Amino acid sequence: MANGTAGLTLLDSEVPVFDISIFESRPLFPSQTWLACHEVGAGACPAKMPWTDIWLTNHIAQAVIAAALVILFWLIVTHRPKIVPTRRQWAGEFLYNMLRNGIGRDIIGDNYHKYVPWLVALFSFIVINNLFGETFVFMFPTFSKVGFAWALALLTWVLYNAVGIKTHGLRRYLKLQTIPDGVPKALLILVLPLEILSNFITRPITLALRLFANMLAGHLLVVIFVTGGWFMLSQVKNLAINAAGVVALIMSFAIFALELFVGFLQAYIFTVLTAQYVSSAQAEAH
């Protein structure tokens, strides 16, 4: 039965609702409590849920799988290295040298070797989780859940502050990070709060939000164009609307490719900024 307004005829009596449930974390082994409070028309969920509903979720499973894939990838590309590298070995060496030399050595400088494992693991982990957004089984970039981005940003925050304290000692490090050289004492009342905000609070917040916002926005655009294109093609009896649906589906492939590029770019930016923060923490002058 068709229904609709002037110039727009719907083929079904019920209009599909845009579903964003893909962004909801769901337990791998849902308890009866979880199932009951997520039924249609159910009341509010209890304040305390079983730990399995909180920690054994689909998105946490993605992060664990990504970590396993990182380990597996580097084990494979470094297995039985040859003087004349195979394609597999060449790919691993190219990626490693890019991170080691292009980020670690060029940004951190002296003593960069000790941070290379973290930079390599960080970049690899972010890339794989971002690629999950283009992978059929998952179709969801892990860092579209902001909690994962906060966790990585917190690790970076702990790292560069620990490096600074180890290098300079706590008192001198705090002074270097909060009192720039050459600032008149009369201006310290203005400069000091800004430096504390910039170096200890803003850095991890912007680091996390940049990664989260880019991955969320890209995936939302793909979902909107695919859902909108499907709706205009299958649920509307109108030639112009159907043509727009075809265009929307074609555009979704372009946005899909853009999301793939952004996934690599954001992993690179996150890794570069981590190296930059470590470098600034070691610096003698602010």
Write a three-state SS string for 30-48. CCHHHHHHCCCCCCCCCCC
Q: How many residues does the chain have?
A: 286
pLDDT at position 109 over 80: yes
pLDDT at position 90 over 80: yes
110-139 pLDDT, tens digit per residue, is 889 999 999 999 999 999 999 998 887 788
Confidence band (pLDDT; 50, 70, 90) for 18?
A: very low
196-223 pLDDT, tens digit per residue, is 998 899 999 999 999 999 999 888 888 8
- The 8 Å CB, 24+ separation contacts for 233-236 are 234/11, 235/10, 235/11, 235/12, 235/15, 235/16, 236/4, 236/8, 236/9, 236/10, 236/11
Phi, psi of 4 (to 5 degrees): 155, -165
Give the Cα separation of 136 and 253 in Å (integer): 14
**pTM to 2 decimals?**
0.84
pLDDT of residue 16: 46
